[in-house]
Amino acid sequence: MVSAVEVRNISMAFGANQVLSGVDLTIDKGQTTALLGANGAGKSTLIKILSGVYSSFTGEILIDGKVVTIDSPTTAKSAGIETVHQRIDEGVIPGLTVAENLLFEKIVSGEIPRAVSLKTIVNEAEKIAEALDLNWNRSKLRNDVYELGIAEQQMLILARTLSRSPKLLILDEPTSALSVAESQNLFRFIKNLEAQGIAILYVSHKLSELEQIAKKLVVMRDGKIRNEQSAPFSWDLALKEMLGQQELGERDNFKQVQGTSVTLKLNNVQLFKESAPLNLEIKKKEVTGIIGLLGAGKTELAKVIYGADELISGSMDLEGQSYKPAHPADAVIKDIYLVPEDRAADSMIPNWSISHTATLPFMGDFSARGIIKKLAEGIRGKELVQDLKVVTTSHEAFVDSLSGGNQQKVIVGRWLQSKPKLMILDEPFRGVDIGARRDISKRVRDLAATDVAVLVLASDVDEILDVADRIIVLVEGKVVMDVKAGETSKDKIVNKMSEVA
């Protein structure tokens, strides 16, 4: 194979924290190289060096065999390196249309005149959408970008990047918000890019994806390359090198629990105007897993229970009493907590410490007369870092300086440190590695064992099987399966998810 990009002896530290140590990596043209590593292994730092976000590193970067200087995102793009980062909110510009977002960099660079009409921009955007098989009509292209869902925003960012045919395309957890069908569409894009000789660096914790598309596997741990393989891969070896221990097994052998009394009851609740009424009971001591594809109604259900959205029809009862939250604050007062799907937009404040972030929803417990109790807040932050094994230099580090997976641990962990009546977790494992997934699953199950009702919403079957006592499949707002976890299988769940409601 012919290399597109090489990194030689790359090292980088943040103060006393050495995050990369002598990394050597070759990324070949016309194939996908998978980068695997636990949260905090150094993957994000390496990606940011290649994409020009970080410039204070030592070592060399070569493109087409020549040493290049990459010290900003602009020089990275000029060198032919394009990156789609994990955080979707960093890639869209609110207030602009979908079409303007799709063509944003061409407009900024002057390739498309800034004074051009929206009609012309929509015409150009429509060509890109059609070329990439995006089913976006002119009306959608004229909409504000924030009218798109998370998955569609992800597809927009991918489309904008792919339209420029880079030498190296870096994809950081690109399918984290995509449905199965959209993921397969992305994989077709990747195959087409490979045929054009474009190199792909693909970061994901989903081993089935890496098995499907990658020809080379690179495993990182503690800032170093620990293992390189060509397909077919030895996953036992890869996971051992990734985790620094023996692979955790297909699934922890936990004892499934039968729920006791009903905490929350949904009576003829509609999640969509056209969907069938939903009747559901969420019980104490039980982890109820709800799974479905994009548009199944998982997030809509979470928002209704949490008071973020109004009920279309139907009613809810909390421990036998009528429950009508008009605002999320009403839910929190009733001890109903939610870990939302989009942590960056809904759960984090930039430049806030881990300790601040951990105590934010419970500020009244960590302040007196408007003054924050720094000691108590710090203790809570330290406990969270220790309990969830957050990779960080300190509990006072900014939460947005952490890797995506460690950010997720902080957001999940802050709620797990309290004892709610009902704990709702919407995609709690997004962007976390296998080890972290098992850590979070254990904490969730430990919480349920303390007489708490837990509702986990996810689109990944393995994730649901790792944590749930009871599994419910939603299709277009309708329950099409409701079984004990031990009475079903991965294949049966997938078949039900693909049904038409």
Q: pLDDT by residue (tens digit) across 49-106?
A: 999 999 999 999 999 999 999 999 989 988 999 998 776 667 788 889 999 999 888 8
Residue 251: predicted pLDDT: 46
In a domain, 9, yes or no: yes
Task: State the pTM of this model.
Answer: 0.64
In a domain, 130, yes or no: no
Residue 161: predicted pLDDT: 81
In the predicted model, is pLDDT for residue 363 greater than 80? yes
Residue 208: predicted pLDDT: 81
In a domain, 485, yes or no: yes
Among residues 179, 211, 243, the one where a domain terminates is 243
Give the pLDDT band (50/70/90) at residue 253.
low
Residue 354: predicted pLDDT: 95
Residue 434: predicted pLDDT: 77
Query: Domain residues for 433?
Result: 257-335+419-501
* CATH code of 268's domain: 3.40.50.300
Residues 330 and 435 in one domain: yes
Give the pLDDT band (50/70/90) at residue 35.
very high
**What average pLDDT score do residues 371-388 get?**
91
Residues 224 and 262 in one domain: no
In the predicted model, is pLDDT for residue 501 greater than 50? no
Residues 192 and 70 in one domain: yes
For residues 58 and 48, the answer to whether their CB atoms sit within 8 Å is no
In the predicted model, is pLDDT for residue 245 greater than 70? no
Task: Spell out the alpha helix ranges (H) of 82-221.
Answer: 98-102, 104-109, 118-131, 138-142, 150-162, 180-195, 207-213
Give the Cα separation of 221 and 79 in Å (integer).
28
Residues 40 and 175 in one domain: yes
Residues 279 and 218 in one domain: no
Give the pLDDT band (50/70/90) at residue 9.
very high
Residue 89: predicted pLDDT: 67
Give the pLDDT band (50/70/90) at residue 416.
confident
Burial of 458 (0-12, 13-18, 19+ CB in 10 A): buried
Give the pLDDT band (50/70/90) at residue 250.
very low
**What average pLDDT score do residues 402-414 get?**
85
Give the pLDDT band (50/70/90) at residue 421.
very high
Give the pLDDT band (50/70/90) at residue 252.
low
In a domain, 32, yes or no: yes
Residue 249: predicted pLDDT: 45
Among 223-237, 427-441, 481-495, the range scoring the smallest mean pLDDT is 427-441
In the predicted model, is pLDDT for residue 247 greater than 80? no
In a domain, 178, yes or no: yes
Residue 338: predicted pLDDT: 94
Give the pLDDT band (50/70/90) at residue 110.
confident
Residues 434 and 322 in one domain: yes
Q: What is the DSSP string of 148-168?
A: S-HHHHHHHHHHHHHTT--SE
**What average pLDDT score do residues 128-139 get?**
80
What is the pLDDT of the chain when averaged over all its residues? 87
How many CB atoms neighbour CB 463 within 10 A?
Answer: 22
Residue 311: predicted pLDDT: 92
How far lies 249's CA from each of 37, 246, 276, 435, 493, in Å?
17, 9, 39, 10, 21
Residues 81 and 207 in one domain: yes
Residue 254: predicted pLDDT: 67
Residues 442 and 469 in one domain: yes
Residues 197 and 293 in one domain: no
Give the Cα separation of 81 and 463 in Å (integer).
33
Give the pLDDT band (50/70/90) at residue 7.
very high
Please give the tally of structural domains in the chain: 2
Give the pLDDT band (50/70/90) at residue 246.
very low
Give the Cα separation of 370 and 444 in Å (integer).
32
Give the pLDDT band (50/70/90) at residue 498.
low
In a domain, 83, yes or no: yes
In the predicted model, is pLDDT for residue 294 greater than 70? no
Give the Cα separation of 265 and 279 in Å (integer).
8
Residues 465 and 439 in one domain: yes
In the predicted model, is pLDDT for residue 415 greater than 70? yes
Q: Cα 351 to the chain's mean position, in Å?
A: 20
In the predicted model, is pLDDT for residue 248 greater than 50? no
For residues 79 and 70, the answer to whether their CB atoms sit within 8 Å is yes
In a domain, 97, yes or no: no
Among residues 243, 269, 298, the one where a domain terminates is 243
Residues 305 and 166 in one domain: no
Among residues 243, 272, 306, the one where a domain terminates is 243
In a domain, 156, yes or no: yes
Residues 189 and 274 in one domain: no
